[in-house]
Amino acid sequence: MRLSSAGSGKVARSPVHHPLFARCYARASVRAETGLGLAGVRERLLVGLSGRVIEIGAGNGLNFGHYPGTVAEVVAIEPEPLLRRLALEAALRARVPVDVVPGTAEALPVKSEAFDAVVLSLVLCSVRDVERALGEVRRVLRPGGEVRFFEHGRGGGRAMRLTQRALDRTLWPALSGGCHLSRDPVAALREAGFALGPLRRMVLPERGPALPASYCAFGTAWRPDEPEAR
């Protein structure tokens, strides 16, 4: 899908355009809901949320069915056109209002301090600029607001970490919609000034050999209470 730039007659390409990856992810992610137990992870990720929530890089909308009724509204940002179309369909089935919006994590198309919570699930691996994206997360969260995250990243022993780095420098990002294996999402949240709550590390799948994308972190982080310096 292409976005037409207002008035110019020119056609602008979506900033994130991975049609082949999007088709594969749409199928594989649905299988992983039961196969890898991700439906249960999503349920735990979102439990207890309330108020206004922004989900960044919502993909095909697999989180939408897990938002509790205490959530007043979800704004779901998704830049990839095919995944966004699937997210729109998922939004119609959700029990809370979900507004699916084009945009990227690095320049969220929403006002500052407008949200009680930000949801990041399997997305910091794929954004172009993690630091900028987390700066935007801070900007749009109200003081004291929370980040719920479920991310994969660096893990395992020395051989696994070397493999992750080698794949990141070669084939992996091109094959996986810009995904990276050796990022450290927890360190990135800490460096961006978030206060980290209890953290759970998990290896998925839980049985069988670990893969380069198996090392996951699940938790909550808070934006400190003081207003943003402007």
Ligand X SMILES: C[S@@+](CC[C@H](N)C(=O)[O-])C[C@H]1O[C@@H](n2cnc3c(N)ncnc32)[C@H](O)[C@@H]1O
> Which positions lie near ligand X, rule CB under 6 A?
16, 25, 29, 56-59, 62-63, 77-80, 83, 104-106, 121-123, 126-128, 177-178
Query: Measured from the CB of residue 99, what is the shortest distance to ligand X in angstroms?
Result: 15
Query: Measured from the CB of residue 9, what is the shortest distance to ligand X in angstroms?
Result: 27
Query: Measured from the CB of residue 60, what is the shortest distance to ligand X in angstroms?
Result: 7
Query: Measured from the CB of residue 227, what is the shortest distance to ligand X in angstroms?
Result: 25
Q: Which is nearer to ligand X, 15 or 195 (CB)?
A: 15
Q: Which is nearer to ligand X, 145 or 177 (CB)?
A: 177
Task: Please report where in the chains the tokens 């969260």 appear, as a residue.
Answer: 141
- Residue number with the smallest Cβ distance to ligand X: 59
CA-derived radius of gyration, the chain: 17
Rounded CA-CA distance 143/135 in Å is 13
> 170-209 b/e with 16+ CB inside 10 Å = b?
eebbeebbbbbbbbbbbebbeebebebeeeeebbbeeeee
Q: What is the DSSP string of 150-219?
A: EEE-S-SSHHHHHHHHHHHHTTHHHHTTT--SS--HHHHHHHTTPEEEEEEEEESSSSS---TT-EEEEE
Query: Measured from the CB of residue 226, what is the shortest distance to ligand X in angstroms?
Result: 27
Query: 3-class DSSP state for residue 107?
Result: strand
Q: Which is nearer to ligand X, 27 or 225 (CB)?
A: 27
Q: Which is nearer to ligand X, 107 or 225 (CB)?
A: 107
Q: Which is nearer to ligand X, 28 or 227 (CB)?
A: 28
